[in-house]
Structure 1
Amino acid sequence: MLKKFFILCSGSDSDILDTCSNGEQNKYAGIGATVFFTAVMAFIASSYALYTVFDNPFIAIGFGLIWGLLIFNLDRFIVSTIKKRNQVLDEFIQAFPRIILAIIIAIVISKPLELKIFEKEINQVLLEQKNELTLANKEQIAKQYNPNINNLSNEITALQQQITTKEAEVNALYNIYITEAEGTAGTKLLGKGPVYQEKRDKHDASLTELEQLKIDNKAKIATLEAQIAELGTNLNSKIEASQPIIDGFDGLMARVNALNKLPLLPSLFIFLLFLAIETSPIFAKILSPKSEYDFKLEDSESALNTWVDRNVKERNALLQTDINLNNKIYNDIAEEEEELYNYKRKKARELMQLQADAFFEKQQKILK
C-alpha cells in the first residue's frame, strides 16, 4: 500500500510499472518518497514562517498545508515530465528549466527551517538591533523636545543668576554700612551717624528688592520647571508609545535580515542539503540508463504517435478525395446545366436591382 502511494507520488504510469520488475518499482517508489517528504518539509517550513507572520497556529497550519501541496504538485510535475532520451545532453537540456525551478523550491523550503534552527542566534541579533533602535528612537524623539527644554533651563539659570547678583549687591551694601559703623571705612567715624543711616537705608531698600525678586523669580522658576516637567512627560509618553513598535520588530523580514548577519557556512550547508534532496530525483533520472519502464513507456507513446499519425493522414486523404470529387461534380454541372445558369443569372440581376434601389432611396433621404 505504501509502495503504491509512493509510486503515485513519483508521477509515473502505474499501469506500466505494474508490468515491470520489483527493482524498477522500488526505484520509482524511492523517487516518489523523496517528492513526498520534500512536500512534508515544505509544509513544516511554511507553517513556521507563516506563524511568525500571523502568530496564529491554525492560520499557519492551513496555509502551510496549501503550500506543501503546491510544492508536492510542482515536484511531481518536474519528475514526471523528464523522459529518457538517447543522449544525455538532450536530457540535460530538457531538465535544465526544471533544475532551476528545483533550486528555487529548495531556497523557499530551506530558509524558514534555517530561521527555526538558528532561532536563538537570531533572537540575540534582534535583541541587539532592538536596543540600537530604542536608543536611536530616544535620541530622535529627544531632538524634538531638547531645544525647548534647554531654552527653559537657560531662563531658569538667568533668573537664579539675577537672585545671586542681587544677593551679592545686598551683601556689599551690608559690608559698607557695617564698616561705616565700625569706623574702618567711609567717614571712618565710629558710631551710627547720618552717613551710616543713609547706607543702612540703602541696604534695607536693596534687601527688600532682593526679597521681592526672590518671590517673583521663584514663581517664574516654578512655572518654567512645570513646563520642563510637562515636556519631559510628553517625551516619555512618546517614547513609550513608540516602544511597542520596536518590541514587535521580529517579523519574517526582520528574522531573514538577522539570519543574513550570521555566519554564511551553516546556512549554506542546510541549503545545499535541501538542494540535493530536491534535485536528486531529477539527476537520478538523467544519469541512470534506460530501464524497463522507460522502454515500455517509449513503446506505448510511439504506438500512440503512430496511430495518431495514421489517422491524421487518413483524414487528409479523405478530405482531398472529397474536394476532388466536389470539384468534378461542379464542373460537370457548370458545363451541362444551362437552365441552372440562367436561373442564377436572373436572381443575380434581381439582387443588383434591389441594391441599386436601396442605394437610391438612401441618397434621396440624405439630400432632403
Structure 2
Amino acid sequence: MKRTLAGFAGGQSKLLGVTPGDELRYAAMGGVIVSTALVAAASAAMAVHMALGTGVLVAVLIGLAWGLIIFNLDRLLVVQMTRQGSRRLTLMMAIPRLLLAIVLGAVISTPVVLKIFEAEIETQLTVMHARQVAEYNRETAQNPDYASIPELEKTIAADEKVAAGGAGITIEKDPAVVDARNQYDAAQKTFLKAQANVVCEKEGTCGSGAAGAGIAYREKVGIQEEARDTRDEALARLTAARADARAALSTAQTSAADAARTRLTGNRERLTELRDRLEADKAAHAAASKEDTGLLARLEALEEIAGDRPTLQTAHILLFLLFLSLELLPVLMKTLQVLGPETDYEKVAREDGEHRQRLDRERRDHELRTEQDRLRRAADAAIAGNQVVVDTQTEVMTRVLETWQQRAIEQAEEDLRHWVRDSGPVSPPGYAGTHQQNGVPGQRTP
C-alpha cells in the first residue's frame, strides 16, 4: 500500500527500494493526492446535485469522474516539477503550478462550504425570494397595462352605480333650476329683511323710532308684502324649473344607464383579462424565484449572510483556507523538496537517469555503427554485382560478335561459290587484256 501511494506521487518502486528513507515522504504525498481527489469527487457530486438537481447516483458518477480528473492533474503538477539548474528557475517553474493549485482548491472548496452552511443558506434564499417577489410587484405596478387596473375598477364601480340608477346628474345641478333657486334665495333674503324692518318699526327700535303702527310702519308693511309676492313668484318659477328638470333628468338617466351598461361589458372583460395576466405573471415569477436555488443563488445567499454575520464570514474563510491548503499541500511539499538539498532518492534517480542516458547513447552508437557497416557491405555487394553484370554483358556481346563474324564469312564464301558456279570457267592468271565470255567480264593481268 505504501509503495502504491508513493507511486501516485511519482516515486519509482525500483529506486525507492534503494532509498527506503524517502519512501515514506512519497507515500505521504501520494496519500494527500488521493485525499484531495476524494474531496474533489464529493464536492463535485454535491455541486451537481445542488445546481442541476440530478439524482444521487448520477451525481456520484459525475463526482467520481471529476475526482479522477483532479487526481491526474495533481499527479501531473507533482510529477512534472523537477529540480532545475538554479533555485530561481525552479521557483519560476513552481509558481504557475501553485497558482493552478489555488484555482483548483477554490473550485473544490466552494460546494463543500455551501453544503456545510446549507441551513443558513436555505433561510436566506427564502428572504431573497420574498424580496424578489416584492420587487417584481413594484415593477408590475409601474407597468402601463397593469397600472390602469385601479382606474378601470373605479370606472366600473361608477358605471355600475349609474346603471343601477343610483348616480347621475341631479335636478339641483340643472342650469335653469340653479338660476331659479338663486332668484328665490335673493327674494327670500329680501323678504326676511323687510319682515325684520316691520317688527323693528313697530317696536320703535329702528326707522322712525316711534313705537306702534304709524305711517312708517304701514310703509314697511307694504314693502314686506311686495317682497313676499316677489318671493312667491320666485318659488313658483323654482318649482316649475324643478319639474322641467326632473322630466329631462329621467330621460338623461335612462340614456346614461344604457351607456354605462354598454361600457360595463367591455370594461369588465378588459379588467378580467388584465387581472388574469397579472396573476399569471406573478405566479410564474414566484415559481421561477422559488426554483432559483442553484449554485449561483446559493453563493449570493452566502455572500449576503457573510456580510451581515461576521462570525459566519470568518468560518467561511477558515473552511476555504482548509480545503485550499489540502489542495496546495502536495504541490507545496514538492516545491519545498526541489528547493531544498538533493535527497537520496533524487541522487539515485539522477544517477539512474544518467546511466540510462549513457546506455541509450551507447545503444544508439552501436545501432549507428551497425547500420553504417550494413550500408557499406550493401554498397560493396552492389558494386560487385554491377561488375559481374558488366563482365557478363561483355562476354555475351563478344560471343555475339564472333558468331556474327563467322556467319558473315560463311555467307560470303557461300555467295562466292554460287557466283563462280553460275559464271563458268575463269581465265588463268597472267592473261593480258580484257574480254567478255558468255556475258561475264574478263580479268586484266596485273
Partner of 1:45: 43
State the AA in 1 paired with 2:152: L
Q: Compared with structure 1, are the counterparts of its residues 167 and 191 closer, same or farther at alpha carbon in structure 2 (3 Å cutoff)?
A: closer
Partner of 1:303: 355
Partner of 2:332: 283
Partner of 1:294: 346
The answer as to whether partners of 1:141 and 1:238 remain within 8 angstroms in 2 is: no
Partner of 1:360: none
TM-score (norm 1): 0.74
Partner of 1:169: 173
Q: Which residues of structure 1 form unaligned runs of 5+? A: 343-368
Q: Compared with structure 1, are the counterparts of its residues 296 and 167 closer, same or farther at alpha carbon in structure 2 (3 Å cutoff)?
A: farther
Of 241-250 and 210-219, the range deviating more from structure 2? 210-219
Structure 1, residues 154-211: CA drift from partner, whole Å, max 9, x if none? 755886799454454269849958x97xx95996447997x57743530330341354
Residue pairs, 1:336-351, within 5 angstroms: 337-338=389-390
1:24 is matched with which residue: 18, 22, 26?
Answer: 22
The answer as to whether partners of 2:177 and 2:238 remain within 8 angstroms in 1 is: no
The answer as to whether partners of 1:88 and 1:287 remain within 8 angstroms in 2 is: no
CA distance in 2, matches of 1:298, 1:212: 112
Partner of 2:56: 57
Aligned-residue offset at 1:72: 1.7
Structure 1, residues 232-253: CA drift from partner, whole Å, max 9, x if none? 2331122112321111112112
Structure 1, residues 56-88: CA drift from partner, whole Å, max 9, x if none? 222222211221122122222322333345643
Q: Which residues of structure 2 form unaligned runs of 5+? A: 189-227, 308-312, 395-446
Aligned-residue offset at 1:334: 4.8
The answer as to whether partners of 2:98 and 2:332 remain within 8 angstroms in 1 is: no
1:249 is matched with which residue: 285, 289, 292?
Answer: 292
Structure 1, residues 235-291: CA drift from partner, whole Å, max 9, x if none? 112211232111111211222344455457655544443333223223323323322
State the AA in 2 paired with 1:70: I
Q: Compared with structure 1, are the counterparts of its residues 283 and 340 closer, same or farther at alpha carbon in structure 2 (3 Å cutoff)?
A: farther
Structure 1, residues 87-116: CA drift from partner, whole Å, max 9, x if none? 433433444443333222212112212322
Q: Compared with structure 1, are the counterparts of its residues 20 and 172 closer, same or farther at alpha carbon in structure 2 (3 Å cutoff)?
A: farther
CA distance in 1, matches of 2:80, 2:180: 112
Partner of 2:90: 91
The answer as to whether partners of 2:48 and 2:59 remain within 8 angstroms in 1 is: yes
Percent identity between the two aligned chains: 23
State the AA in 1 paired with 2:88: L
CA distance in 2, matches of 1:171, 1:321: 135
CA distance in 1, matches of 2:68, 2:42: 12
Aligned-residue offset at 1:147: 5.2
CA distance in 2, matches of 1:297, 1:186: 138
Q: What is the DSSP-based 3-state SS (H/G/I as helix, E as strand, rest coil) of the residue aligned with 2:292? A: coil
Number of aligned residue pairs: 338
The answer as to whether partners of 2:101 and 2:327 remain within 8 angstroms in 1 is: yes
The answer as to whether partners of 1:163 and 1:210 remain within 8 angstroms in 2 is: no
Structure 1, residues 23-44: CA drift from partner, whole Å, max 9, x if none? 4222122112211211121122
State the AA in 1 paired with 2:334: K
CA distance in 2, matches of 1:250, 1:257: 10
Q: Compared with structure 1, are the counterparts of its residues 93 and 318 closer, same or farther at alpha carbon in structure 2 (3 Å cutoff)?
A: farther
CA distance in 2, matches of 1:127, 1:46: 25
Structure 1, residues 276-323: CA drift from partner, whole Å, max 9, x if none? 322322332332332232223223322222221111111111122222
Partner of 1:34: 32
User: By percentage of residues, which structure has more helix?
Assistant: 1
Partner of 2:241: 199
Q: Compared with structure 1, are the counterparts of its residues 334 and 227 closer, same or farther at alpha carbon in structure 2 (3 Å cutoff)?
A: closer
CA distance in 2, matches of 1:192, 1:16: 130
CA distance in 1, matches of 2:150, 2:297: 37
CA distance in 2, matches of 1:228, 1:81: 72
Partner of 1:117: 116
Q: Compared with structure 1, are the counterparts of its residues 167 and 109 closer, same or farther at alpha carbon in structure 2 (3 Å cutoff)?
A: farther
TM-score (norm 2): 0.63
CA distance in 1, matches of 2:238, 2:148: 48
Q: Compared with structure 1, are the counterparts of its residues 337 and 175 closer, same or farther at alpha carbon in structure 2 (3 Å cutoff)?
A: closer
CA distance in 2, matches of 1:221, 1:192: 40
The answer as to whether partners of 2:169 and 2:249 remain within 8 angstroms in 1 is: no
Q: Compared with structure 1, are the counterparts of its residues 148 and 196 closer, same or farther at alpha carbon in structure 2 (3 Å cutoff)?
A: closer
Query: What is the RMSD computed on CA atoms of the aligned residues?
Result: 4.0
Structure 1, residues 107-157: CA drift from partner, whole Å, max 9, x if none? 211221232234455445544443343233334444152355366357558
The answer as to whether partners of 2:46 and 2:59 remain within 8 angstroms in 1 is: yes
Q: Tell me if 1:74 matches 2:73.
A: yes
The answer as to whether partners of 2:52 and 2:294 remain within 8 angstroms in 1 is: no
Structure 1, residues 212-244: CA drift from partner, whole Å, max 9, x if none? 256335524643345324422331122112321
Q: State which structure, 1 or 2, has the greater radius of gyration over its C-alpha atoms.
A: 2
